[in-house]
Amino acid sequence: MTRRTAADVLLDILRDEGVDRIFGNPGSTEMPLMDRLVDATDFTYVLGLQEASAVAMADGYALRSGKTAFVNLHAAGGLGNAMGVLVASKSSETPMVVTAGQQDTRHLLSEPWLAGDLVALARPVTKWAAEVRRASDVGPALRRAFAIARTAPQGPVFLSLPMDILDEPADDLPPPRSAAPARTAGAGSIDLAGRLAALDPARVAVLIGDDVPSDAAAGAVALAHAGGFVVHGTQVASRGAYPSDDPCWAGMLKPDFAAIRATLGEVEAVVLIGGRAFVAYPYREERPIPESCRVFHIASSADAFGREFPADVAIHGDVAASLDAIASALKSRVDAGRAAARVAALGEAKRAHEAEIRAAILATYDARPLGPDAAVLSVFDALPANCLIANDTAATFGPVQTIMKIQPGRYFFARGGVLGCAMPASVGVAMAHDGWVACLCGDGGAMYSPQALWSAAHYKAKVLFFVFNNARYNVLMNVAKGLGSKNAVAGKFVGMNIENPRIDYQALARSMGVPCARVAAPAEIAAAIAEALMREGPSLIEIPIV
């Protein structure tokens, strides 16, 4: 009889936690786990050709599925390669348990090859980090890791697993799973409804923060409709948490305090849902809301309160449950006819505004290369209805973002600002979705994790990769222009052009087994998408933009 080891305990706990995929890139220190996976046919090992790609695939899978993803990396070097994406995952509050194989503890003191202080490396970019030193601790440590990862605010946690520990005998039964905390509305929800009922709805704005889960969308819609409130999101939200076709939706706030102030006007109160909504890049002296504006803040994490502005009312509890309670109480306190009329008026204004934006973009369709707004709109108009979006390109930051189709649970953005997340994340998203996934990235971002193309081809992921190519870091150039930097004044942008040679994305895609096309006109974009949708797996569509 094969002896039972700590690696077997690890797999038992993964099964009990609902994990059936292990994302990773293996090495010698992971061999005890890889050996056990030979006969563990109920697990799928999802191979990333670089550790950053493996973590980003797990990130996308977790965001779409709602499950806690499990990642296995290789020693100090592998964890180091993954650090950038872990920065993004922590920022996005993605529930994820990340492990890495550590060298054999019997010679750690001699600092052997591949060894390092993995916990010290991981601590700044995770909620909790620890190293297991006994086989009997593998079970309790894993249970604790999963509990911490899924507890609000969710996020990645890290365990260092020495290879000799995983190979040691472990006869103890795995500890049971901890019960999940009850999802209850925060105290003060009913009182907040009374405060909102007393205000002029035209002077109230609902702001969706950068970390609001998609399951809170129904409550946010109910709140907006009950009061007749306008709703804005932030440009750098990790998840879509409000439907863009709702009449109360007024679009995303640009990351500029002066622009936010101009959009919100002289509001008397903002209802801030989730973490941050006032994102500015670069720094501005302008205050985005009036001094007298009251802030009613609803969040699942106590750390969110007071981060940007003091909260006049702070509702700490499950966001979805709190919004449901507030909306229900508000509905009974306001005139239903007045609220419905207000919502209808917002819808009429929204339709007129969006029609103007669409007409202005359509008027540029004959330009070559296309402008970013025209390219993005051409893509969105040709995508199937149930397509998910994984985005990390600034090409979507123009007027087109006001008319982009964003639905709860169907839009994901690299909130942490780390380039290269979208391509591998879209592969992970596709593993938790029945339909197609559109990955929107710039030519610069595409080069951070091109290994994702291989994984997409290998697993036949239904991903359409769109590379908007202007052969430069255009967002950085725009920042330089906005700041009046010497780069911009001199017209000599140091380190911001991607040319001499220009990257051949068609050759890159083909080398990874991904069919590809380069298209320049809206009709060509639509035709390329239609052809790609006929394939079983991924495609890459390159679109030159100005």
pLDDT in tens, 297-335: 999 989 899 988 999 999 999 999 999 999 999 999 999
Half-sphere exposure of 371 toward its Cβ, with a 13 Å CA cutoff? 14
Does any domain span residue 174? Answer: no
Half-sphere exposure of 329 toward its Cβ, with a 13 Å CA cutoff? 18
What is the model's pLDDT at position 483? 87
Does any domain span residue 173? Answer: no
Same domain, 266 and 326: yes
Which residues, 6+ apart, have CB-to-CB distance to 333 below 8 Å?
Answer: 193, 194, 197
Same domain, 311 and 391: no
Domain limits for position 210: 189-349
Query: Distance between CA atoms of 229 and 346, rounded to whole angstroms?
Result: 9
E strand segments, 323-394: 388-391
Across residues 460-485, what is the average pLDDT?
Answer: 93
Tell me: pLDDT of 510 over 60.
yes
Angle formed at CA 151 by CA 123 and CA 431, multiple of 5 degrees: 85
Does any domain span residue 1? Answer: no
Does any domain span residue 180? Answer: no
| Of the residues 151, 166, 181, the one at which a domain ends | 166
Q: Are 134 and 162 in contact (CB under 8 A)?
A: no
Same domain, 101 and 129: yes
Residue 28's CATH number: 3.40.50.970
Query: Distance between CA atoms of 342 and 2, rounded to whole angstroms?
Result: 70
E strand segments, 248-351: 249-253, 269-273, 294-299, 313-316
| Of the residues 323, 349, 375, the one at which a domain ends | 349
Q: Which residues, in sequence order, are bridge partners of residue 45?
A: 22
> In what helix (H) or strand (E) does residue 23 lie, and over which residues does it extend?
strand 21-24
What is the model's pLDDT at position 363? 98
Tell me: pLDDT of 238 over 70.
yes
User: What value does the mean pLDDT of the chain take?
Assistant: 94
Query: Distance between CA atoms of 458 and 246, rounded to whole angstroms?
Result: 38
Same domain, 302 and 401: no
Same domain, 326 and 410: no
pLDDT in tens, 336-371: 999 999 999 999 999 999 999 999 999 999 999 999
What's the structural domain count of the chain?
A: 3
What is the model's pLDDT at position 357? 98
Residue 337's CATH number: 3.40.50.1220
Same domain, 340 and 368: no
pLDDT in tens, 161-195: 999 999 999 877 788 888 888 889 999 999 999 99
What is the model's pLDDT at position 97? 98
> In what helix (H) or strand (E) does residue 149 lie, and over which residues does it extend?
helix 138-150
Q: Are 236 and 262 in contact (CB under 8 A)?
A: no
Q: What are the structure tokens assigned to 141, written together?
A: 């440590």
Does any domain span residue 354? Answer: no
In the chain, what is the straight-line distance between the N-terminal and C-terminal CA atoms, in Å?
Answer: 66
What is the model's pLDDT at position 331? 97
Across residues 224-232, what is the average pLDDT?
Answer: 98
Same domain, 380 and 441: yes
DSSP at 177: P
| Of the residues 288, 322, 349, the one at which a domain ends | 349
Same domain, 409 and 337: no
The model's confidence at residue 36, banded by pLDDT at 50, 70 and 90, is very high
Q: Are 76 and 121 in contact (CB under 8 A)?
A: yes
Query: Distance between CA atoms of 453 and 431, rounded to whole angstroms?
Result: 14
Closest CA to 50 of 394, 427, 504, 515: 427
Does any domain span residue 19? Answer: yes
Same domain, 149 and 18: yes
What is the model's pLDDT at position 110? 74
Same domain, 345 and 427: no
Q: Are 7 and 36 in contact (CB under 8 A)?
A: yes
Same domain, 442 and 314: no
Same domain, 467 and 517: yes
Alpha helices for 25-124 (secondary structure H)? 31-37, 51-65, 75-92, 118-122
Does any domain span residue 172? Answer: no
Does any domain span residue 184? Answer: no
